[in-house]
């Protein structure tokens, strides 16, 4: 991967890069919509991601290239104007450049920049966080600065929130930044506080991406956020994470039915995250799988951010041998399902799931088999 990036950089700019970094994509393992409610979440950095190469220039010009785009975007170093159209992907590294001074860090002036990715597009694996963190590493290396890993993660989130304009939580950047091979990343979103939890040997992840999205997805996200905040306000707490399942159960009658369902999902999901950590430390993958499937059923019936396509995949997967459990991964309202399997679940079983889905819906989901990988790393 590194050799290919060096070759592509040299072909684009006529010289080799000075700095190379790589950051992984991520899977939301469990903790659906818990982040903005002050809860906990588990994520997995995967063995696919985004690589970035950079070489400094002294003429006040910044050139951005990518293996996903044929055109190089050329900008003056004194401009941080948000890009539109085919060049809009440059807003991710531009957002990082804009964020650096907010953390009392310097941005490099002129440079040549090239990004490559082996993440499938539209699979909900957070390529945006990966490019932000890989960009941050090469920019900081070029200016000989070494902030903490937590600061790097916060820079990436700041770029996405304030420049790109996506109000994401800390999950994506946190997992991409703190990922480790054979481990999951645990985040207490209120801190934020980051930790890792060993993943028992023999665990595999399979992603089944439906490429479906609800037409009203932005409004649905906003509605869920609003309903959660309404529940917290009516119950007199700052965030739903302040409640235990027993405390919520005792006061559910104070909430409108729909708002109560949303609150139950969040409070019980936080409890499932904590139970998953215990089960993982005990090496109980079967127990973890039951929690994953319970998470999906809660999304399906209480938070109502699933779809018939996602439900069908979960139903089919959980009835398939060697699958511990399955759930939607990411925000929901379409997208992908993650299955946790043992090493005996292979391409033959995956194809059976694909065939059943294709028979019902007329299109085949994209399948990705992946395992955990290291977090954002400066390679040279």
Out of 3, 47, 59, 172, which one is annotated catalytic?
Answer: 172
Q: Please indicate whether residue 172 is annotated as part of the active site.
A: yes
> What's the DSSP call for residue 201?
T
SS (H, E, C) the chain: CHHHHHHHHHHHHCCCCCEEEEEEEEEEEECCCCHHHCCEEEEEEEEEEEEEEEEECCCCEEEEEECCEEEEEEEECCCCCCCCHHHHHHHHHHHHHHHHHHHCCCCCCCEEEEEEECCCCCCCCCHHHHHHHHHHHHHHHHCCCCCCHHHHHHHHHHHHHHHHCCCCCCHHHHHHHHCCCCEEEEEECCCCEEEEEECCCCCEEEEEEEEEECCCHHHHHHHHHHHHHHHHHHCCCCCHHHCCHHHHHHHHHHCCHHHHHHHHHHHHHHHHHHHHHHHHHCCCHHHHHHHHHHHHHHHHHHHCCCCHHHHHHHHHHHCCCCEEEEEEECCCCEEEEEEEECCCCCHHHHHHHHHHHHHHHCCCCEEEEECECCCCEECC
Q: Catalytic amino acids? A: 172
């Amino acid at each position: 991967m590194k050799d290919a990036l060096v070759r592509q950089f040299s072909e684009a700019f006529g010289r080799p890069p000075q700095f190379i970094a790589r950051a992984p994509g991520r899977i939301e393992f469990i903790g659906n919509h818990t982040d903005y409610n002050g809860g906990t979440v588990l994520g997995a950095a995967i063995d696919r991601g985004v690589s970035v190469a950079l070489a400094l220039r002294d003429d006040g010009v910044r050139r951005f290239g990518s293996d996903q785009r044929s055109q190089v975007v050329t900008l003056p170093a004194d401009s941080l104007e948000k890009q539109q159209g085919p060049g809009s992907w440059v807003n991710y590294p531009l957002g990082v450049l804009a964020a650096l001074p907010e953390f009392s860090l310097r941005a490099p002036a002129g440079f040549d920049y090239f990004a490559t990715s082996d993440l499938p597009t539209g699979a909900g694996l957070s390529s945006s966080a990966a490019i932000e963190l890989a960009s941050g590493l090469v920019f900081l290396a070029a200016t000989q600065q070494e902030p903490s890993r937590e600061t790097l993660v916060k820079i990436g989130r700041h770029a996405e929130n304030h420049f790109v304009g996506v109000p994401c939580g800390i999950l994506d950047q946190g997992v991409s930044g703190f990922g480790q091979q054979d481990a999951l990343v645990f985040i207490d979103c209120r801190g934020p506080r980051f930790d890792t939890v060993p993943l028992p040997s023999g665990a595999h992840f399979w992603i089944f991406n439906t490429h479906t999205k609800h037409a009203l997805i932005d409004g649905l996200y906003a509605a869920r956020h609003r309903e959660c905040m309404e529940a917290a306000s009516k119950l007199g707490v700052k965030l739903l994470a302040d409640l235990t399942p027993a405390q919520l159960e005792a006061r559910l009658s104070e909430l409108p039915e729909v708002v109560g369902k949303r609150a139950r999902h969040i409070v019980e999901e936080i409890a499932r995250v904590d139970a998953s950590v215990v089960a993982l430390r005990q090496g109980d993958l079967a127990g973890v799988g039951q929690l994953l499937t319970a998470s999906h059923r809660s999304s399906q019936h209480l938070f109502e951010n699933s779809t018939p396509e996602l439900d069908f995949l979960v139903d089919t997967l959980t009835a398939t041998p060697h699958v511990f459990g399955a759930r939607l991964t990411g925000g929901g309202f379409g997208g992908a399902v993650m299955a946790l399997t043992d090493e005996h679940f292979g391409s033959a079983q995956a194809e059976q799931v694909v065939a059943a889905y294709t028979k019902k819906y007329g299109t085949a989901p994209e399948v990705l088999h992946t395992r955990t990988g290291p977090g954002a790393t400066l390679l040279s």
